[in-house]
Amino acid sequence: MIVTRKSYGMSRGSWGCLLVLTLLLAAPAAADVTFTKDIAPILQKHCEHCHRPNAIAPMSLITYEEVRPYARAIKARTQLRNKPGVMPPWMLEKNVGIQGFKNDPSLSEQQLTAIAEWADTGAPHGDPADMPAPLTWKGPDEWTIGEPDLIVRSKPFSMGASAPDWWGSFETVPTGLTEDRYIAAYELHEVTNARTQPVEVTGGAPPSAGLSIIHHGTVTALGPNGIPEPGGCCPIHEVGRNADVFDAEAGKLIRAGSSLGFLSIHMHANGRNTTGHLEIGLKFHPRGYTPRYRNTGVTVATNHDLIDIPGGATDLKIDGTAVLQENIKLTVYEPHMHAAGVRFCLEAIYGTTTETLNCSGYDHSWVLAYAYKDDVAPLLPKGTILRIVGYYDNTPANRNIPDSRNWMGGGHRSIDNMNVLLGQGLSLTDEEFAVAVEERNKQLGIKGRQVVIGCPTCGGYQEEALE
């Protein structure tokens, strides 16, 4: 509104009118956030992949009629930001550590505000003409990595509604590959009939609350001789885990005549008699591709015997450390806890400096991997101490706890606990590492001394140490 110079000459009365006018203009502005104009585009981009008929989520969030009853729940779940239960599932804390992740589905502050305003002003429908064109989906189990070049299906498995936890291996399945290929991206789907099965056991929400019965699965590439391939092909799958797009310079080899082994599977009942199978989707690098770097796992774990969580414990911290034996570019930050875990942090200690690389909420129904963007992925020299800090909540506030009166220790069942960083990285020689640090300094335009979180020898610190 242009009220500049001209309005200086106004009488008191006209100021009053202006005030009323301004209020009148401001009031509808708050209610201006509508489903068709503002909310539907957010839901299409961030929610519909799961919230549509026959997909993983319990309800569809496409039409106004479907969404309206959930307006308050949508506000509540999105406002959780990095806490367990947040929608979309992504619990990275944005106010500490490195920012910049591939395929980050989280909502911006602006989107969070729009959703909150919309829910608080009666969730108005808005002008139907503003509604974005509907998205088209091919099927219930669409791949987030795009259509895979190869899909390998496990043999079927099943589990009774209240069956005890089960550990074991599924039968090995040939990939059918007739040539060596490098894997660029990997995604695992658990396909079951759970949705159509009646709930037979309720109460004490199982950690894999919902449709899933595969708590975790280790999928391994076995060479033509049946022996696991060095480097491994596939990250450990967990309930609710997202897909992996590997570092473009470090594809993983899968050879002609190889098979996939499902060597360490853990199943946990979901309250329904469930039958299903696993589908592994692989996308390949073009033929003739050769990787520049070698992949490596970056694991830090607390000994299970040191995990001691009294009944009713809240905000309990457990830590663990490991020293890097080689130079690492950390490409994926992946906390792994179990039912009692609610938060996790990763620190890097180098020389006299301790930095928090990242913190995130943890929800054992949504075990997520966070892949760093290439230009911020931590460059950690040999000798760096990685420290993990897990935070545990053994109270009813944690919906993954069956009975918070129980003491909990470490172990493999979903209701036992772990404190693990299941990181992925590239191992770099001293020369490769020096080049990577130099490239990072150039990229960031660093000249003098400057702290770069996640790169302790960036910013001129290396030279100083050598002087």
Contact residues toward ligand HEC (CB under 6 A) are 46-47, 49-51, 56-58, 70, 73-74, 77-78, 87-89, 107, 210, 365
Is residue 425 within 8 Å of 327, Cβ to Cβ? no
How far is the first Cα of the chain from the last one, in angstroms, to the nearest whole number?
Answer: 61
Tokens of 59: 């309800």
Q: What ranges in 313-412 are assigned the alpha helix state H?
A: none
| AA letter at 402 | P
Structure tokens at 292: 């520049």
Based on CB atoms, which residue is closest to ligand HEC, 239 or 426?
A: 239
Instruction: Tokens for 230, please give them.
Output: 């060095």
- Least gap, CB of 168 to ligand HEC (angstroms): 26
**Whole-number minimum distance, CB 299 to ligand HEC, in Å?**
26
Give the residue with the Cβ less far from ligand HEC, 75 or 412: 75
Residue nearer to ligand HEC on the CB measure, 72 or 292: 72
In the complex, what is the shortest distance from the CB of residue 106 to ligand HEC, in angstroms, rounded to a whole number? 9
The answer to whether the beta carbons of residues 167 and 265 sit under 8 Å apart is yes
| Residue closer to ligand HEC, measured from CB, 67 or 152 | 67
CB nearer ligand HEC, residue 57 or residue 116: 57
Q: How big, in percent rounded to 5, are the helix, strand and coil portions of the chain?
A: 20, 30, 50
Q: What distance in Å separates the CA atoms of residue 10 and residue 213, rounded to the nearest whole number?
A: 71
> 353 pairs with which residues across the strands?
350
Q: How far is the CB of 368 from ligand HEC (least distance, A)?
A: 9
- Reduced to 3 states (helix: H, G, I; strand: E, B; else coil), residue 284 is strand
Report in angstroms how near the CB of residue 95 gets to ligand HEC at its nearest: 20
CB < 8 Å & 24+ apart, contacts of 19-27: 25/1
Interatomic CA distance for residues 60 and 194, integer angstroms: 17
**Residue 210 backbone zone (phi > 0: left; psi -120 to 50: alpha; other: beta):** left
Q: List the beta bridge partners of residue 301.
A: 420
Residue 351 CB: number of other CB atoms within 10 A?
12
Shortest Cβ 242–ligand HEC spacing (Å): 7
Q: Would you say 143 or 350 has its CB closer to ligand HEC? A: 143
Least distance from ligand HEC to the Cβ atom of residue 109, Å? 14
- Measuring CA to CA, which residue among 72, 70, 67, 94 is closest to residue 81? 94
| Least distance to ligand HEC, CB of residue 330, Å | 24
Closest to ligand HEC by CB, 208 vs 427, is 208
Q: Which is nearer to ligand HEC, 58 or 409 (CB)?
A: 58
CA angle 380, 383, 387 (to 5 degrees): 75
